[in-house]
Amino acid sequence: MSFPTVRNRRLRGSAALRSMVRETVLTVNDFIYPIYVVHGTNIKEEIRSMPGVYHFSLDLLEAEIREIVSLGIPSIMLFGIPATKDAVGSSAYDPNEIVQQATRLIKQWAPELVVIADTCLCQYTDHGHCGVVHVNEHNGTADVDNDESLPLLVRTAVSQAEAGADIIAPSNMMDGFVTAIREGLDAAGYRNVPIMSYSVKYASAYYGPFREAAHSAPQFGDRKTYQMDPANAREALREAESDVLEGADFLMVKPALAYLDILRTLKDQFDLPLVAYNVSGEYAMVKAAAANGWIDEQKIVLETLIGMKRAGADLIISYHAKDAAHWLKG
């Protein structure tokens, strides 16, 4: 049968009807909120390209954490700006560095808040790459040494777990990083600490504002030898399958907005919880358009987030999380 017997508009006739048949629901429990911590005192410095997102020194962090908890956001992801950088990112695995300090404090202030530690070296290396770099003597090019980088990532993950991180989130895209970190955590006695793998991370232009926020831009070259080509979809399946076999507990797609097809593909192929990273460039574009009065920020953000859930995301890392939590309550 078809029109006029079939009328699809019947189920859209009122707000109550639309609510009853709604297929995808967005709640505050879906959100992970990123936080940037820095050394110093009395610092709450807005990131220029990310209005409403700040660098926090530890003495001003507690109020931010209490607000996040009061909104019902269940989890945060920590990024740190170290005091010093070197060629091997040694501050990443220093037990007294900024992420480790922040983790210990947050677990005192809000034990129920799930703290996720981003596990990478790019913020901590003086060259801005995600691993150990060697220069080719023959042609002068630089290359990130995959296997030499893995032990340093393991040391970072163990250091973060020792500080109290509930989840380790390696974002480096080295081959074998999940196996290495899983073995390292297990050997250190952290068998029950899950790994939220940045399984499918593209070499994306959407990361620009983050690199300002994290002071992590590469000082030479780019990350295309280890992050994925935006043109590739089947490769995402290979990357995700590797992480599943190596013991990942969550899979992630980053960025989210231009890769909703990849989210859907992973959702259909794997049964692990799936995370979408609504990244800095996506956030910055919305903020800029809203500041110019070109869009309704609230409606755009909620529509974007529901789109990520509809595509298959179980969790969403988003700089919009605090605003979205307010709007969902309202």
Catalytic center residues: 201, 254
Task: List, in sequence order, every residue forming a beta bridge with 134; answer none if it has no partner.
Answer: 143
Burial 52-79 (b: 16+ CB within 10 A, else e): ebbbbbbebbeebbeebbebebbbbbbb
| 3-class secondary-structure state, position 247 | coil
Phi–psi pair at 79, nearest 5 degrees: -125, 140
| 3-class secondary-structure state, position 103 | helix
* The two three-digit tokens of residue 32, written as one number: 């992970």
**Continuous segment of H or E residues that includes residue 268:** helix 260-269
DSSP codes joined into one string, 273-318: -EEEEE-HHHHHHHHHHHHTTSS-HHHHHHHHHHHHHHHT-SEEEE
Rounded to whole angstroms, how far apart are CA atoms 290 and 238? 38
What crossing angle do the helices spanning 98-109 and 61-70 adopt, rounded to 10°?
A: 50
**Continuous segment of H or E residues that includes residue 65:** helix 61-70
Alpha-carbon Rg of the chain, whole angstroms?
21
Name residues whose C-beta falls within 8 Å of residue 47's C-beta, 6 or more positions apart in sequence: 36, 53, 54, 55, 209, 212, 213
Chain Cα centroid distance, residue 278: 8
